[in-house]
Structure 1
Amino acid sequence: MWGFNEDFPFVRKGIQFMLVSIIFLIIIGLGSDEFYGVMGKNNYVTIHLLMEILIIVVTMSISIQTWLISPFILSNRGLYVGALFLTFSFIEIAHALTYKGMPFFITESTPYAATWFYMFGRLLLSIGSLFIYFIKEKEIKLIDRWFIYSLPFVITISCFVVLYAPTPVLPPLMIEGEGPTNLKNTLQYIAITLQMVIMVLLLKNFKKAPKIIFLLLGSSIYLILSDILFTIYLDVYDIKNFIGHIFELGAFYLLFRAIYYSSIEKPFQQLVATQAHLENSREKMHFMAYHNEITNLPNERFLMESLKRDLYIAKSQKAILAIGIERIAAIKASLGSTYADQMISLIAQRLKSVLPEKYLLCMLREDYFVVYIDEVSNTQQLTQLSQQLQLVMEETFQIQHFSLNSQLNIGIALFPTDSHREEELIRFALYAMHEAQKTPTRIRFYESSLSHETTERLLLENDLHDALDNQELFLEYQPQLDLRTGQIKSVEALVRWQHPKKGWISPGVFIPIAEESGLIIPIGQWVLETACKQVKSWEAAGLPPIKVAVNLSLGQLFQQNLVEIIHHVLEKTQLEPKYLQLEITESMTIHIDHMTMILHKLKALGVTIAVDDFGTGYSSLSYLKDFPIDCLKIDRSFVQKIQSNTTDKALVDMILSMAKHLQLKVVAEGIEEVEQLSYLLESQCDTVQGFLFSKPVPPNILLENYQTLHNDAKNILDSITASKV
């Protein structure tokens, strides 16, 4: 659609000009008798000649302009347009030279030749325009220009041959004193009809090039008006003849404007717009090169250049604060980049609201910020600022239907105390940031001892990325004994890592790294699928059905497609849902709204839900009635002190009693002594697991020793029963 807003001034001026022309025409038409010969009969030849010269100049300009641009735009249509107006120019010259009153040219000047030259040119213009419209546009060779531009000479010579034959071939078109003949009027009406056809064709294509077609339509209207005037004037002194020439000149001027606009003005405007766009793109590219696209904060390149420029100007103490966003990687892996990006953006806004404008806040990578402070009076100032930054994070982030929380781990490196180099300052601040999560305040200043520890941790994180692909991770299974039947009916799947160089890596070391980096998502899915496959493998080997317990991380629980993933795994492994138990930690229950929804969906699959490490984390206990929980697992820290610590004993009794009233199963972890088992057996605990029966073992060992494990368990239970008799 035409952009009327930007082209409105042009359209308005064009319409105003046409309205003025039509009003002028009406005034002249009503008073044509009064204006007859108004300019003096002796002056009409000169006036006519001036008008014709202007028409020739305009049409010749169109032809020359088309010729000059043709080497760059080798279009057959463009060349035919130029050849058409060159032909018209030649015929118009002949018309001017043969006009009545002009000096001798081949023969005495009479209306006969002049009128026929005009009519040849007029018909040629309409017929040629239609021809050019209907031919298929294609690219032509440079040499074809000469052939096409030779046609005007052939056509003009042919007109001269016909009109100056010894015996007149054509009848006259104008009779002095009487005006145009019927033949002339008929030819003029044919020209009008052809011009109206051209207008219809132009209107059909109006949307393709509105401004150009608007000019062409205006030209057509002026040509039609001139045609009408040329059918009703009496002789050369009639004012209608003069006005007809003015309209004809106006028509060619508009034609010239249309061609000039399409071939020169419009390409130039496009070039200017392109240059402006390129300049704007350069500015945007420069901004993007030095700013983070999520937060629009300065990025690492900007920070490094600022440090190189400003760090050594003054001798005052300066500081780099590295601010880590806890759980952002897990949120990204579970909920997706959109949620993570929105949260990062909101965190950036909160940080900016606290930091003074003179401090430089930058976004480095996707999960931490850096603050450059160019003047530090004392370390207490930095501690207070860090506490303020942490304080604004306490309010929950509401992102769509999720309520998300996060904490900041802040590491601080000082210039010149810790380093004189900008790269080291940033790296040392990051080291301190990684270690800050181990401190209660989550704020830590850099110390030289941190470099080795942090380097080792980062190397371990890097190796963990490849551990899954390199099959370095494996599962062990710890049997769980049903105290009512004395049978092993379930096992807990536990992930292990055998590093190719560093050997066995404790889960207590690599699991937190996996959770912080987001790797817990793919690792958790692998554990789930591997455990389900193993249960089916044991069943195929002849073991009775065994339920497998798999731990879910907080990151997994926030995966939008977690339910679909588990459903897919169950279908893929053909494991009945009742033989899969999903375990959550008590600290996860703080996200009560989301957990309620997701656990009900998981429960609908047919799996069982257990709360691991019960009693050690956050708990309002209200979740026990809201969540579809089947089982509570008593943490090993309570069980191990069950004989020596009365508080732990009371807690175990309370958990067992509460579970009984809520009709929940109870699993006690960490059973290592017979006395512990005896107490739990007497307290009617449902299931136990621990080293007393078996440590976590590879799947093949459990298969081979399944009966032996049962026999050992039976002997232990029998000994307890015998001791009570």
Structure 2
Amino acid sequence: MEWQETKNEFWKANRGGMMLPLLFLIPIVMFQDPLFDVFGEQNYVALHLIFEIFIIASSFTIAIQAWMIFPHILSNHRLWLGALFFSVGLLETFHAVTYTGMPFFLMESSPYKATWFYMVSRLMQAGGLLLIVVSAEKQINSQYRWIAYFLAFIHAAVWVTVLFYPAKLLPELVVEGEGTTALKNSLQYAAIALQLFCVLILIKTFKTAKTRNCMMAIASIYLIISDSLFTSYKSVNDLINCIGHLFQLTGFYCLLRALYYTSVEEPFRLLEEARKRLKKSEESLYYIAHHDELTKLPNMRYFTEKLARSLKREPEKSKAVFVLEIDRFHTISESLGHSFGDLVLQSVAARFREDSFKELFVGKMRGEKFAVFLNFMEGEEEAAAICRYIHSRMKEPFQVQHLQLNITLNIGISLYPERGKNENELLRQAQVAMCEARGEVNRYTMYRSSMDQQFLDRLVLEHDLHKAIDKGELYLNYQPQFDLRTGRILSLEALIRWKHPEKGWISPGQFIPIAEETGLIIPIGEWVLKTACRQLKCWHDRGFPPFAIAVNLSARQFFQQNLIDIVKESLKETGLPPRFLELEITESMTMNVSYAAGVLTDLKRIGIRIAVDDFGTGYSSLCYLKDLPIDCLKIDRSFIQQVQTNNHDAALISMIMSITEHLQIEAIAEGIERVEQLRFLWKHHCYHVQGYLFSPPIPPEELEETFYELEERAISYCERLTDECITNK
């Protein structure tokens, strides 16, 4: 494509000079005799001199150009081409001054000297060009420049000496009035043959240097036409001889253009292309350095620089910085794989690039976080309005592969100049506020100075949590799950508690999110599993009824590659039969159905029961109930709280019970706190329950002491419900 453009440019710039000899050729061939001697003998001499001046100038231009560029490229082709045309230029000079009709130069001018100077020049030019074309191009030492040009000078000097010798050492090539001799024509045909070989080689090696070879091939064709014309003229002063010189001049011009192209124009083009590529590479590197590779949004470096420039340029304007995170992103990523998580990030970034956000400068932070900068902000109310607008734009479900996801963003806000004074402070404060927004109903909050202490407390808590297991600060409490029909304890749910040596009991709602973020949930979860299994085996050995134990799995645990091995090891180490262990998962863990099916099937092969905790609040659809080996659904407490007054909750519980009945899956209702809730569940045939109405989570020692009391309390509720049922009938 580039060669085509170059060829077109060359033809457009030079077509006039190249077509002119062809325009003369047609009438001369057709009307050779009538045109003979049309201008007069002296006029032919003048025309010949003009052509020769151009030919000589072209030859020396090629020689000088090659001389000047050789030290930079050290090409043997360029050097010998320059030396060749240096000799040609010298010979053509003597050809011009010895041409018939020219003033005397050392001795009388004659066709003998002029024709031989031309013929030697022509043969040398054709043969030298052929040798250059067939030889391999390579780099040579710069000292060869003087040697090559000296040899060219010696060659020309030898022929000058031979032809200016008083006695004619060579035969005549042109007989005035009769035309060219057989020897002259033979030498001319030899030059044509050499030039034809040169054309064939140029065509054969065309792809190696398309533009140069094209120009040199055109030059060779014009020189061949010139040679043909020089075999047919009758006198050195006729029109055919004159036009032959015109074709020769055109051929030399094309050679000059070929050398100029390869020595000056092509390197310049390559240099310009390299400059453009370099500029494009610089732009690409700048883009890579300032944009996130995954989302194509500005990265933190670019975002921070732009924010800093804005603060410096307009320090008096109020501004706002927002830091946003995708809520529960780690659960999504671990459930469906990191590549799916990347697609989620790309989908969110694509929505941020929509025109509706064009006034916001959005950047990508590490992980699942984004940063937003607004150059002008009137106050907190406008900032809150921006957050509500972002939430509204993100409310529409995201189609990621075959799933539709509802994504929520937690947003922290820092205002300038009320809070942060520079870009780093603003970003830090917005990030602190974002952490607090996780617990807010509207999922956004403004930074307050009190949050710094809360953030510091969180860091201290994270530090202490790392040592909690080794120091024995973690405990398990157990909450019983009852069968209403018998009042007996079916199983116990193991719930972790942390007793800090200085702060006392810390709520799981405080330290569990920290454990999940930091990855501590893995060793903590393994400790919970082994401790619960060991405790249950101890109770069984002491004669307690054969009830089961339920242990919650976190998302990180569920997606551990060695989860099955850990469970097997825990059961083997504690000696607990697998049928007494129930593992509770959440709906979000089942989003990747193929992975979940494999893991749960392997767990079921061990003999473990599987329960779905907080049923009805997760991401997944109901189809996983038929595809996954699930034994139990735990109805979330949010459906139980207002079941007497909220018809929607009542309808949902009724639907869940219908599903479990048809799928032959057990159902357990969580969060039972009032008898009215119990009565509703009894009416809808939900007989497995758990909640504070029966017992809060209690330590193992207290459970041992009150075990049978708890069962008696459950039996009393069972009898009351049975009596009410009989009375109502």
Same fold (TM over 0.5): yes
Determine the structure 1 residue equivalent to 2:568.
535
Instruction: Say if 2:114 is the partner of 1:114.
Output: yes
Instruction: Say if 2:641 is the partner of 1:637.
Output: no
Tell me whether 105-114 or 336-345 shows the greater mean CA deviation: 105-114
CA–CA distance in structure 1, aligned partners of residues 145 and 456 of structure 2: 74
Matches within 5 A, 1:579-590: 581=610, 583=612, 585-587=614-616, 589-590=618-619
AA matched with 1:353: S
Determine the structure 2 residue equivalent to 1:413.
414
Instruction: Say if 2:368 is the partner of 1:383.
Output: no
Map Cα deviations across residues 36-76 of structure 1 (whole Å, 9 max, x no partner): 22332123334323322211211111111111111111122
CA–CA distance in structure 2, aligned partners of residues 345 and 254 of structure 1: 58
Contact 1:122 1:191 in 2 (8 A): yes
AA matched with 2:677: T
Q: Per the alignment, do residues 330 and 191 of structure 1 end up closer, same or farther by CA in structure 2, a change over 3 Å counting?
A: farther
Determine the structure 1 residue equivalent to 2:374.
372
CA–CA distance in structure 1, aligned partners of residues 333 and 296 of structure 2: 16
Contact 1:111 1:174 in 2 (8 A): yes
AA matched with 1:305: R
CA–CA distance in structure 2, aligned partners of residues 627 and 260 of structure 1: 91
SS in 2 for 1:370: strand
Q: Give the counterpart of 2:314 among 310, 332, 345.
A: 310
Contact 1:322 1:410 in 2 (8 A): yes
Determine the structure 2 residue equivalent to 1:454.
455
Determine the structure 2 residue equivalent to 1:425.
426
Tell me whether 648-657 or 514-523 shows the greater mean CA deviation: 514-523
AA matched with 1:403: Q
Tell me whether 49-58 or 37-46 shows the greater mean CA deviation: 37-46
AA matched with 2:26: I
Instruction: Give the C-alpha shift of residue 245 in structure 1.
Output: 0.6
Q: Per the alignment, do residues 172 and 518 of structure 1 end up closer, same or farther by CA in structure 2, a change over 3 Å counting?
A: farther
Map Cα deviations across residues 474-522 of structure 1 (whole Å, 9 max, x no partner): 99999999999xxx99999999999999999876445435667899899
SS in 2 for 1:231: coil
Instruction: Give the C-alpha shift of residue 353 in structure 1.
Output: 1.5
Q: Per the alignment, do residues 101 and 456 of structure 1 end up closer, same or farther by CA in structure 2, a change over 3 Å counting?
A: farther
Identity of matched residues, % = 33
Contact 2:616 2:635 in 1 (8 A): no
Q: Per the alignment, do residues 616 and 652 of structure 1 end up closer, same or farther by CA in structure 2, a change over 3 Å counting?
A: farther
Tell me whether 646-655 or 283-292 shows the greater mean CA deviation: 283-292
Instruction: Give the C-alpha shift of residue 310 in structure 1.
Output: 1.8
SS in 1 for 2:434: helix
5+ residue gaps, structure 1, are 658-665, 677-688, 697-708
AA matched with 2:101: G
Determine the structure 2 residue equivalent to 1:661.
none
Contact 2:179 2:235 in 1 (8 A): yes
CA–CA distance in structure 2, aligned partners of residues 649 and 274 of structure 1: 83
Q: Give the counterpart of 2:305 among 301, 304, 308.
A: 301
Determine the structure 1 residue equivalent to 2:260.
260
Q: Give the counterpart of 2:348 among 332, 344, 347.
A: 344
SS in 1 for 2:32: coil
CA–CA distance in structure 1, aligned partners of residues 678 and 713 of structure 2: 25
Q: Per the alignment, do residues 544 and 323 of structure 1 end up closer, same or farther by CA in structure 2, a change over 3 Å counting?
A: closer
Q: Per the alignment, do residues 184 and 285 of structure 1 end up closer, same or farther by CA in structure 2, a change over 3 Å counting?
A: same
CA–CA distance in structure 2, aligned partners of residues 499 and 224 of structure 1: 102
Instruction: Say if 2:470 is the partner of 1:441.
Output: no
Contact 2:585 2:611 in 1 (8 A): yes
Q: Per the alignment, do residues 285 and 718 of structure 1 end up closer, same or farther by CA in structure 2, a change over 3 Å counting?
A: closer
Q: Per the alignment, do residues 144 and 447 of structure 1 end up closer, same or farther by CA in structure 2, a change over 3 Å counting?
A: same
Map Cα deviations across residues 653-700 of structure 1 (whole Å, 9 max, x no partner): 74647xxxxxxxx8x667x99x78xxxxxxxxxxxx98798999xxxx
Instruction: Give the C-alpha shift of residue 226 in structure 1.
Output: 0.9
CA–CA distance in structure 2, aligned partners of residues 330 and 404 of structure 1: 13
Instruction: Give the C-alpha shift of residue 203 in structure 1.
Output: 3.2
Contact 2:578 2:607 in 1 (8 A): no
Contact 2:192 2:227 in 1 (8 A): yes
SS in 2 for 1:232: coil
CA–CA distance in structure 2, aligned partners of residues 132 and 499 of structure 1: 91
CA–CA distance in structure 2, aligned partners of residues 500 and 49 of structure 1: 112
SS in 2 for 1:149: helix
Contact 1:475 1:527 in 2 (8 A): no
SS in 2 for 1:50: helix
Tell me whether 146-155 or 548-557 shows the greater mean CA deviation: 548-557
AA matched with 1:246: L
Determine the structure 2 residue equivalent to 1:23.
23
Determine the structure 2 residue equivalent to 1:403.
404
Instruction: Say if 2:196 is the partner of 1:193.
Output: no
AA matched with 2:376: D
Contact 1:74 1:140 in 2 (8 A): yes
CA–CA distance in structure 1, aligned partners of residues 408 and 192 of structure 2: 82
Determine the structure 1 residue equivalent to 2:247.
247
Contact 1:51 1:249 in 2 (8 A): yes
SS in 2 for 1:308: helix
Instruction: Give the C-alpha shift of residue 576 in structure 1.
Output: 4.2
Contact 2:481 2:493 in 1 (8 A): no
Q: Per the alignment, do residues 253 and 17 of structure 1 end up closer, same or farther by CA in structure 2, a change over 3 Å counting?
A: closer
Q: Per the alignment, do residues 169 and 318 of structure 1 end up closer, same or farther by CA in structure 2, a change over 3 Å counting?
A: closer
CA–CA distance in structure 2, aligned partners of residues 175 and 494 of structure 1: 122
Determine the structure 2 residue equivalent to 1:39.
39
Determine the structure 1 residue equivalent to 2:556.
523
CA–CA distance in structure 1, aligned partners of residues 666 and 76 of structure 2: 86
Q: Give the counterpart of 2:677 among 647, 670, 673.
A: 647
SS in 1 for 2:72: coil
Instruction: Give the C-alpha shift of residue 564 in structure 1.
Output: 5.8
Determine the structure 2 residue equivalent to 1:512.
513
AA matched with 1:225: I
Q: Per the alignment, do residues 590 and 105 of structure 1 end up closer, same or farther by CA in structure 2, a change over 3 Å counting?
A: same
CA–CA distance in structure 2, aligned partners of residues 627 and 86 of structure 1: 105
SS in 2 for 1:411: strand
Determine the structure 1 residue equivalent to 2:525.
none
CA–CA distance in structure 2, aligned partners of residues 391 and 610 of structure 1: 36
Map Cα deviations across residues 187-245 of structure 1 (whole Å, 9 max, x no partner): 32333233233333333444444433332232122112212211211221221111111
Determine the structure 2 residue equivalent to 1:682.
none
Instruction: Give the C-alpha shift of residue 611 in structure 1.
Output: 4.2
AA matched with 2:121: G
Q: Per the alignment, do residues 278 and 616 of structure 1 end up closer, same or farther by CA in structure 2, a change over 3 Å counting?
A: same
CA–CA distance in structure 1, aligned partners of residues 406 and 186 of structure 2: 88
Contact 2:482 2:690 in 1 (8 A): no
Contact 1:126 1:194 in 2 (8 A): yes
Map Cα deviations across residues 315-346 of structure 1 (whole Å, 9 max, x no partner): xx654444444345555563526413422323
SS in 1 for 2:371: strand
Matches within 5 A, 1:270-281: 270-279=270-279
Q: Per the alignment, do residues 69 and 121 of structure 1 end up closer, same or farther by CA in structure 2, a change over 3 Å counting?
A: same
5+ residue gaps, structure 2, are 522-553, 640-648, 720-729
Matches within 5 A, 1:671-690: none
Instruction: Give the C-alpha shift of residue 302 in structure 1.
Output: 0.5
AA matched with 2:313: R
Q: Per the alignment, do residues 718 and 476 of structure 1 end up closer, same or farther by CA in structure 2, a change over 3 Å counting?
A: closer
CA–CA distance in structure 1, aligned partners of residues 585 and 481 of structure 2: 22
CA–CA distance in structure 2, aligned partners of residues 367 and 460 of structure 1: 23
Q: Per the alignment, do residues 384 and 522 of structure 1 end up closer, same or farther by CA in structure 2, a change over 3 Å counting?
A: closer
SS in 2 for 1:72: helix
Q: Per the alignment, do residues 324 and 524 of structure 1 end up closer, same or farther by CA in structure 2, a change over 3 Å counting?
A: same
AA matched with 2:425: E
Instruction: Give the C-alpha shift of residue 82 in structure 1.
Output: 1.6
Contact 1:318 1:416 in 2 (8 A): yes
AA matched with 1:232: S
Map Cα deviations across residues 372-424 of structure 1 (whole Å, 9 max, x no partner): 35342x54343334323322221112244332222233333344443545533
Q: Per the alignment, do residues 212 and 514 of structure 1 end up closer, same or farther by CA in structure 2, a change over 3 Å counting?
A: farther
Map Cα deviations across residues 89-110 of structure 1 (whole Å, 9 max, x no partner): 2232233344333455566443
